Amino acid sequence: MAKGLVEMTVRGTAWLGLAAMLVALAPQAKAAWPEKPIKFVLPFGAGGVADVTARILADKLSQKLNQRVVVENMPGPGGIAAARAVITAPADGYTMAWLPTAPPSASRRSRVFPSTLSGFCDGFDGGHLRSGLRGKRSIGVQDACRCHQGGERQSWKNEYRDNCRWQHTEPGAELFKSLTGLNIQIVPYKNSPDIVVALLRNDVQLMIDFLRRLPDRLRTKSCASSRVRVRNRRRFFPECRLPTRQASKVTR
């Protein structure tokens, strides 16, 4: 009995010795990335196009990399909070930034964004989205420009809200305001669903966002699309019968 115990102890020690040796060797062997979940920090709220896009890709990437890819929403001005959260994280590949179209933010926040941007190395790739103008009134870009060129300024007050301050839609809104000369107050929202509700409640009269938010509303004609300036809009949402640039006779 005693002999058996000794033998077991000796054998156990040998195993422990081998285990210790393996542990000692482990740091020298490079672990394959990823060995733990990866976090995508998204500078938008939940429910918007970027959020949906990120979650579709995160799901597939999880399968491809055999590791969970988790989306964390961190909306805020210009995506700066999200960007800072990433660049202050270890550069180990486990915290990544979902980059929105950053240049408008960079141009408007020149003192802040370049330093944030410089914290990033290369982006990986991305999807391309197209945004358009929609509103409950038909205020076409061409019409508004004509008023501006004729020296007339419309006196009605329109508000339109964009997705999140300093994201790409706000410079688009600013550009629209500048080109049309309309008296517009821009009010930022943090997520798309809230803007749709505000539009339907008539809190605002125009919104700039991605088309995906409104197909059902357009179909039931509770909202109307203003003129669209891209060539092949219809292939995304054929059911909405959105006018193309050619159909709208928009020339500029």
Partner 1 sequence: MISWNGVGVPKDTPKEVIDTMNKAMREVLAMSEVQEQLGKVGVIAKASTPEEALARLTADIKKWNDVVDKAGIPRK
Which residues pair with residue 207 across a beta bridge?
A: 134, 161
- For partner 1, the closer of residues 98 and 199 by Cβ is 98
- For partner 1, the closer of residues 86 and 207 by Cβ is 86
CB of 65 vs partner 1, minimal distance in Å: 6
* φ/ψ (deg, to 5) at 11: -60, -40
- For partner 1, the closer of residues 33 and 156 by Cβ is 33
- For partner 1, the closer of residues 180 and 205 by Cβ is 180
Q: Cα–Cα distance between 55 and 49 in angstroms, integer?
A: 10
CB of 190 vs partner 1, minimal distance in Å: 17
Query: Tokens representing 38?
Result: 């990866």
* φ/ψ (deg, to 5) at 10: -60, -45
Contacts of 184 (CB under 8 A, 6+ apart): 157, 158, 159, 160, 173, 176, 177, 206
Q: Cα–Cα distance between 147 and 128 in angstroms, integer?
A: 32
Contact between residue 239 and residue 215 where contact means Cβ atoms under 8 Å apart: yes
Contact residues for partner 1 (CB under 8 A)? Answer: 33, 40, 49-50, 52-54, 56-57, 60-61, 64-65, 86-87, 89-93, 95-104, 106-108, 110, 117-132, 168-169, 171-172, 174-175, 178-179, 210-212, 236-237
Contact between residue 231 and residue 242 where contact means Cβ atoms under 8 Å apart: no
CB of 134 vs partner 1, minimal distance in Å: 12
- For partner 1, the closer of residues 11 and 153 by Cβ is 153
Q: Cα–Cα distance between 169 and 188 in angstroms, integer?
A: 9
CB of 19 vs partner 1, minimal distance in Å: 29
- For partner 1, the closer of residues 13 and 178 by Cβ is 178
CB of 23 vs partner 1, minimal distance in Å: 23
CB of 66 vs partner 1, minimal distance in Å: 10
